[in-house]
Structure 1
Amino acid sequence: MTTTAFGPFRFELDQRRLFRGDTPVRLGSRAREVLGALVEQAGQVVRKRDLMAHVWPDMIVEEGTLRVHISSLRKVLGESGAGDQYIENVTGRGYRFSARVTFADS
């Protein structure tokens, strides 16, 4: 199993489970997939259309739907204007997971 860590969080990539310390964090399935796609490519810009194709395969969704899930992730991760920022909006291109991520196999 591959686990990532960033800030006070741990995210199990294989199971798509998020923890703050040892406490599980509740996330909807689509938000978990968005987070997984961003964390797997941490530091790189992930295009909006690539995220949508990954999270909603064989479905047509509006960018607004993706924005809703990004917003909910930011709330769960505790992002604020003055605090830690994990998900960066790259105008006109997509999103980047900008926090330092460490990967470990267990």
Structure 2
Amino acid sequence: MNNARILITDDEECVRTLIKKSLERENMKVFQAKSGKETLNILQEESFDLIILDVMMGDMNGFDVLKEIRKTDVHTPVIMLSGRGEDYDKILGLGMGADNYITKPFSPAVLCAQVQAIIRRNKEIMNVKENTKKLTVGPFVFNYKTYKCYKNNDELPLTSKETKLMKFFMENPNQVFTKEQLYQNVWEDAIVDDNSIMVYIRHLRAKIEDNPEKPTYIQTVWGIGYRFSVES
């Protein structure tokens, strides 16, 4: 983990200093930003192994910052910090692409361990993609080179949009996503109504589930959205 580059964004200097000291003890190189806009400006010039991002800031909240980061196709791992521990906030942050959501007050030692684990896992994922060009989740395999998906070694007859949706689910297993988040990540800027997303989910279930009437992989989380559920 030596020389890992970390960007800390928090409008409280005491919080930034506390995290900085903990990470530097692990030989990480720490950069700081005190606002969301400063973070976005820094990311135009620098790259990092991980970003620690506060949710509640004066100029723009961490959710908006994360949304802008992902819109620019920056996939750097992000840990969100917040004094708000409601489940909806956690689901929103994780669904937008955060890798973890930690509530304040927090243990600097635990945060440091999370940083190390996420960086290590991200490097392993990138190595797998680079070396095999395949992603395996449960009985499913996605081939990045051919853009084909398989279940138990049998190719799934997916349309282009179903392929994108399946790829997104496989890259984010066991996370809950609202319909709006699926629009943003799969349809990007296209306008898709609730009925359309339900139709795509139903068609995908028909192709990947053993029993589409009782789905075990694409689960409905009532009142929120959907989860692609597989064993860890």
TM-score band by shorter chain is 0.7 to 0.9
CA separation in 2, counterparts of 1:99 and 1:66? Answer: 21
CA drift at 1:50? 1.1
* SS of structure 2 residue aligned to 1:65: helix
CA drift at 1:100? 2.2
CA drift at 1:2? 3.3
Q: Give 2:156's aligned residue.
A: 25
Paired residue for 2:219, among 88, 99, 104? Answer: 88
Cα deviations across residues 16-69 of structure 1 (Å, max 9, x unaligned)?
311133332210011111111111110110121111122222211101111111
Contact 2:142 2:149 in 1 (8 A): yes
CA drift at 1:12? 2.5
Q: How high is the sequence identity, in percent, across the aligned residues?
A: 28
In terms of fraction of residues, the more strand-rich structure is 1
The change in CA–CA distance for 1:72 and 1:100 in structure 2 (over 3 A counts) is: same
Q: Which runs of 4+ in 1 moved over 6 A?
A: none
Contact 1:4 1:13 in 2 (8 A): no
RMSD: 2.1
* SS of structure 1 residue aligned to 2:150: strand
Map 1:27-66 onto structure 2 (within 5 A).
27-66=158-197
Q: Give 2:6's aligned residue.
A: none
> What runs of 5+ residues in structure 2 fail to find an aligned partner?
1-132
Q: What is the total number of aligned residue pairs between the two structures? A: 99
CA separation in 2, counterparts of 1:92 and 1:33? Answer: 24
Q: TM-score when scaled to structure 1?
A: 0.78
The change in CA–CA distance for 1:100 and 1:14 in structure 2 (over 3 A counts) is: farther
Q: TM-score when scaled to structure 2?
A: 0.39
- Larger Cα Rg: Structure 1 or Structure 2? 2
Paired residue for 1:70, among 201, 218, 226? Answer: 201
> Which has the bigger relative contact order, CA under 8 A and spacing at least 6?
1
CA separation in 1, counterparts of 2:157 and 2:200? Answer: 13
> What runs of 5+ residues in structure 1 fail to find an aligned partner?
102-106
Q: Give 2:231's aligned residue.
A: 100
